[in-house]
Structure 1
């Protein structure tokens, strides 16, 4: 797996597999200017990097939200051209947060395709422990599509399963606490207003709150990790 600073190493077939799309789809997005061109390596083979993968996943997420190709083009044009894979992943997280709960029942081969790579039995067990997939009848799986890509990436994180599950519990606990306090605050603001005002406030505040939470958490985590690395002498 590459980092944001590493040279592009993925062929178009590998990029398509990682993103769970077809090579034809990758070429189509490239022809529309939605994906930057690959770097041309030895033997004139195009190589793609993490930014290409993150941008491709963002495009796919925008499509799942029902955006037209023209709307996606407008959305991407508004983004800074030099966004890193990390920044693109944040954008995708914001977009995905608007999606309704999407659980589908898929076969094992389809699960591999949606994951963007073959999954070993141990991988599926770890995804089940993270509550991303659940065994269903006939050898199929119920899959939370909103969490699948995140869960697959966590398979490569050098943390124990126990640590990942503990981290999930921390995130769920504090997210629910923050949501409860914010909901109470907003209820106080609209307690004497009509139903239309309540719905209007909810519609406006939902994206703003999610964006604020993501941004605030991202900055706080960066500061905490920076202090830890500096204190441990590895920064």
Structure 2
């Protein structure tokens, strides 16, 4: 266990019970993952109490996504071992986004308690209304139909200091531009395989889809960083 966190890291503040509750797993699971090297050790604070932070939450979310993809524990261990040790919670979230992009569209009907468990937190009536507005959940009799591919993202957005209108407008922008990019890329690739047989087309699709998704995520991430850097520079210069 470590007692000296990186000066650039956010100070870990969660106990193992709080981490487990936030991640929607048991304390036993957290400790098991720790013994298998899937989670870094906690920071030991006063009274020898271990404290966890955003990186631990991000790793648990990534592990959960890998499980949803059907990976065995051994495969998950190999995947996690290949990741650079210094990855931040933000970097881990990007990895999870790439993994989640291959998940099939899955909509399940769940009870409110099951929805709370999968969300990893209590959900108020207002939270459910916001998730419904984001098209993440939909009331279905005495239960809910939930888009499992969007649930964690939707729950994370509940804590973002943006109005519901801004979130929905952002969603519209992302959908419109991603569909436009997907259409233009599809037209480009069709031109490349127009004279090839069906097997070549399937092979190109299988190879290009993961590469394109990774390229889009990386390009968008860098573009957004540049936009935010310019924005914060303007704000700082005006103050």
The TM-score with structure 2 as length reference comes to 0.94
Q: Distance in 2 between matches of 1:111 and 1:164?
A: 21
State which of 206, 210, 226 in structure 1 corresponds to 2:213: 210
Match status 1:74 vs 2:78: yes
State which of 83, 96, 103 in structure 2 corresponds to 1:99: 103
Deviation for aligned residue 1:5: 3.5
Match of 2:135 in 1: 131
Match of 1:229 in 2: 232
Q: Tell me the number of residue pairs that the alignment of Structure 1 and Structure 2 aligns.
A: 231
Match of 2:4 in 1: none
- Coordinate RMSD, CA, aligned: 1.2
Match status 1:185 vs 2:188: yes
Please say which of residues 175-184 and 191-200 is displaced more in the overlay. 191-200
Deviation for aligned residue 1:44: 1.7
> Unaligned stretches of 5+ in structure 1?
none
**Following superposition of structure 1 onto structure 2, how do residues 77-156 of structure 1 map, counting pairs within 5 Å?**
77-137=81-141, 139-156=142-159
SS of match in other structure, 1:233: helix
Match of 1:7 in 2: 11
SS of match in other structure, 1:231: helix
Please say which of residues 11-20 and 82-91 is displaced more in the overlay. 11-20
SS of match in other structure, 1:212: helix
- Moved runs in structure 1, 4+ residues, more than 2 A? none
Deviation for aligned residue 1:46: 1.1
SS of match in other structure, 2:108: strand
Deviation for aligned residue 1:69: 1.2
